Structure 1
Amino acid sequence: VRELIGQAFPYTPVANPRHMVADWSFGIRDADMQQAVDDARGKGAKVIIVLSHNGMDVDLKMASKVTGIDAIMGGHTHDGVFQPVVVENAGGKTLVTNAGSNGKFLGVLDLDVKDGKVADFRYKLPPVFSNLLEANKDMQTLIDKIREPYQKELAEELAVCDDVLYRRGNFNGTFDQLICDALMEGLDAPLAFPPGFRWGTSVLPGQPITFEHVADQTAITYGTVTRNEMTGETVKNILEDVADNL
């Protein structure tokens, strides 16, 4: 019996507009996870894998508190973890890993199961060089057809990059800073808060910055720009919430 358990990011209503998930509830629910694992074991599951969107740090903590999970293959924080972290808990050990983002890596976990238990494991995180892979012709044709009406606008060159523009970590990515600087200048505001995601196309020095590069970084589901008055206390609370979400 193979059992997979899914786990969503527990702070979704804080990190995203609450009205978008008004009828859903989220949270740190280790007891519910433990019950799900126990139920799966009760049905005869020999190996239990959790597919998680908690983020690496939350997964590490969960692995220390919930017993019976053989491996947690996680997401959300998009860390490229080249070897699983082995976390000890009251019931044994749990492997915790994360395979980056945007198809840049492929997490490959092989488990050696003997007598109903995981005896050993092998893990690889091979990089995916998409430009070396032949595209599926039907899919490429569809993509080209959809993009064609917008191709001229997407290819418009807005500037030339004089430093590496990237968005990878939680804070201080250079593309993040560029967006914040533009917001502060364009809206005449002393502070700017960008959406805190960790993916997007990097632009190298000397490379033209196109409209598509900007769209890569800003065209998210709820990318509305507003100018608001806030007290210092509100700003502090926002920053505290951000820190809690890491």
Structure 2
Amino acid sequence: MKRILLAAGSLVALSAGAASAEYSLTILHTNDFHARFEPISAYDSTCSEEDNTAGECFGGSARLVTAVAQARARSNNSILVDGGDQFQGTLFYTYYKGAAAAEMMNKMGYDAMTVGNHEFDDGPEVLRGFVDTVDFPVLMSNADVSGEPLLSDAIQKSVVLERGGERLGLIGLTPIDTPELASPGRNVIFTEPADAVQGEIDRLKAEGVNKFIVLSHSGYGVDLALAEAVPEIDVIVGGHTNTLLSNTQERAVGPYPTMVGTTAVVSAYAYGKFLGELNVTFDDDGVITEAVGEPVIMDASVTEDVGTKARISELAVPLDEIRNQVIGESAGPIEGDRSVCRVMECEMGNLVADAMLERVRDQGIQIAIANSGGLRASIDAGEVTMGEVLTVLPFQNTLSTFQVTGEELLAALENGVSQVADVAGRFPQVAGMKFTWSEAAEPGSRIVEAMVETAPGSYEPIDPEATYGVVSNNFVRNGGDGYAMFVNASNAYDFGPDLADVTAEYLAANTPYTPIVTGRITKAE
């Protein structure tokens, strides 16, 4: 069995003996960019030009263009790849869909990317348009697309690149639960990652390829398990869980690279805040003998490319009127980071859930449930713009109202806490109720207590036999994030106002807004 090596430094030496024909390669990589073409703040949200000039912003395509060029200059042999989820996250995607991402990725000269679940947010049609526009292959090995006419001749399972006189096998992976996370349609059938990757490796080996790089939009935990299951993989470029691997950053989940035997696993957080830079050396059998690297932070020390910045500003013109509108102010930062909101009650979750419930309370709705995966950023203190709200809630989800039994509601809460260890987006933020859950309890019995609010500050236990009015968003109501128990709900109406508009109106009506955590969600010891 392979052993995970947690390197103390950035150098991982795997063999004392020198190979007879060493081959060196620099793998530059990004993941989970989510349409952050402009610089972002420390909260991964909108950053003003004033703050950017003051050196307080990160990322943006203009910095990435510079950083990629500098990294290529440091290497005699490099590739640039992406771990998926270029789509969705700002008004740029809402307005341009995949066109802006294709333009910027072509400009930087990407060599390949894998399909992320958000590439399916607008169905196969928008993904096909993106694939037809980019100058590089888009990969997905663990899905059968033969039954989907829009994708059957567009998506490849793997590709062979020639670089520095050697052949590299690149294999794509997409989350197996993508049908729960996005809208791939019924014609795309997803399969287990290890079997799919092994099948591609076997096929490529028969063609004489012995160096294998997996672009995996599957999450850090899946990547580590995949490296154990398929030891012939040389490098896994990760995505999906926004994992930061680093030897210098305090927030890092693990070292860069994390070694599982001779497999190097890397991931560079998200939103263009880092450019991953892994330098690997292979022996003549295609086995890594050395792996060294560190994500390069895209802070003010990286000069923005002038031409790219001008182009992004041009693309932003149609968006500015909407996003620059000040809708209110916040008395403090509103915490919306995924590492918080996907495991516990959070300020952003309370804001959104309260806004949802307030909008439809007079319709007999008692409870609001917001999936934390729909919350994409925090908001800092001070003026709040519509652009910031749209960065938090970019999916154009609409309010959905419906009725379910208490039994179904309890099942929904069970689903919501079922993947906390994976920091999954199904974790529920709530209003009009409170609940206590136990991570140690057996699946199906993790909800220790659930109470519905009957009057301000007064609660009673949820009755499995009673019927409750619930508001959520159309994604959740239609089974997204595992909420299958809502699909056949009674009196369902999925066509309410946009969730971002509802939240903005609530902020405006309650400005200055004070972020709150009230004990709605507690964890049993």
The answer as to 2:296 corresponding to 1:126 is: yes
* Larger helix share, 1 or 2: 1
* Larger strand share, 1 or 2: 2
Give the equivalent residue in structure 1 for 2:398. Answer: 224
Residue by residue over 1:142-187, the C-alpha shift from the partner in whole angstroms, topping out at 9 and shown as x without a partner, is 2243325xx1x32222222223223332344532332122112222
- How far apart are the structure 2 equivalents of 1:22 and 1:209? 40
Residue by residue over 1:20-70, the C-alpha shift from the partner in whole angstroms, topping out at 9 and shown as x without a partner, is 422111232422221112222222223211001101111122221122101
- How far apart are the structure 2 equivalents of 1:126 and 1:198? 26
The answer as to 2:369 corresponding to 1:192 is: yes
Give the equivalent residue in structure 2 for 1:162. Answer: 331
Runs of 5+ in structure 1 lacking a partner? none
- The TM-score with structure 2 as length reference comes to 0.41
Q: Is the 8 A contact 2:349 2:370 kept in 1?
A: no
2:245 aligned counterpart, secondary structure: coil
| Counterpart code for 1:14 | E
Shift of the alpha carbon at 1:204? 2.2
Correspondence for 1:214 among 358, 369, 389: 389
Shift of the alpha carbon at 1:229? 1.4
Pick closer, same or farther for the CA change 1:236–1:94 going to 2, 3 Å: farther
Q: Is the 8 A contact 2:173 2:193 kept in 1?
A: no
The answer as to 2:197 corresponding to 1:33 is: yes
Where does 1:114-153 land on structure 2 (aligned, <5 Å)? 114-116=283-285, 117-129=287-299, 132-135=303-306, 136=308, 138-148=310-320, 151=321, 153=322
Give the equivalent residue in structure 1 for 2:408. Answer: 234
The answer as to 2:347 corresponding to 1:174 is: yes
Runs of 5+ in structure 2 lacking a partner? 1-166, 247-255, 425-525
Give structure 1 regions of 4+ aligned residues with deviation exceeding 4 angstroms: 239-242
Count of matched residue positions in the alignment of Structure 1 and Structure 2: 234
Shift of the alpha carbon at 1:3? 0.8
- How far apart are the structure 2 equivalents of 1:231 and 1:132? 56
- How far apart are the structure 1 equivalents of 2:401 and 2:200? 44
- How far apart are the structure 1 equivalents of 2:201 and 2:413? 35
Where does 1:40-79 land on structure 2 (aligned, <5 Å)? 40-79=204-243
Q: Is the 8 A contact 1:2 1:48 kept in 2?
A: yes
Pick closer, same or farther for the CA change 1:197–1:119 going to 2, 3 Å: farther
- The TM-score with structure 1 as length reference comes to 0.83
- How far apart are the structure 1 equivalents of 2:367 and 2:354? 10
Structure with the greater alpha carbon radius of gyration:
2
